[in-house]
Amino acid sequence: MEFQAQNPIEVADFVIDLAKKDGKYVTNLQLQKILFFLQGYSLATFGEPLMNGDFSKWKYGPVQKNVYQSFRSYGSSPIVAGALDAYYDNGKLVLKRFPMIDQNSLGNEEVFQKIKIFTNKLLNKSAWQLVNMTHNHPSWKNNYNKIMQRCAADYNKDEILDCYKCNKDVLND
């Protein structure tokens, strides 16, 4: 299936909005793992990444740095609003929300619906359940020392895909 790879912040805003509509909240820690497993799901299901950008190996698992920076001010508190894009236009500061992904931005209704269903499943997992799933995978376990020294290489697509596949049954409950 063909679709357009998305901006990670726009995917994050979609996850946050979906959680709020269902009366749930999401923290930055949980959001990072949800994005990681969405990327794995997309690679496994569609053969393509859902979003552009890399995931770094950090102490508490995978992190998409741009998304982390956008929401780090929340700390461990629930994220209450989507990310803001700030820029200057003719000398005036402009703040606006990033758009969220949808069937139009993806260019494929079926892909969007499958992503939405899987995202809802991920939102039922706690941040720590998701962290433990990533920590039990060799791509994190085997790089523990480098991760603690902050010099581990980013996840490659094969590692993301394999981590998803190793946790597929639990993630799809």
pLDDT digits (tens, 9 = 90+) for 111-159: 999 999 999 999 999 999 999 999 999 999 999 999 999 999 999 999 9
Q: What is the pLDDT of residue 84?
A: 81
Cα 59 to Cα 63: distance, rounded to the nearest angstrom:
9
Q: Is the pLDDT of residue 16 over 90?
A: yes
Q: What is the pLDDT of residue 2?
A: 84
Task: Count how many domains the chain has.
Answer: 1
pLDDT digits (tens, 9 = 90+) for 43-58: 999 999 999 999 999 9
Is 3 among the domain residues? no
Alpha helices, DSSP H only, in the chain?
A: 8-21, 28-46, 65-71, 103-106, 109-122, 127-135, 138-141, 144-148, 157-171
Is 111 among the domain residues? yes
Domain carrying residue 92: 8-168
Which pTM value belongs to this model?
0.94
Is 14 among the domain residues? yes
Residue 86: count other Cβ atoms within 10 Å of its Cβ.
9
Is 2 among the domain residues? no
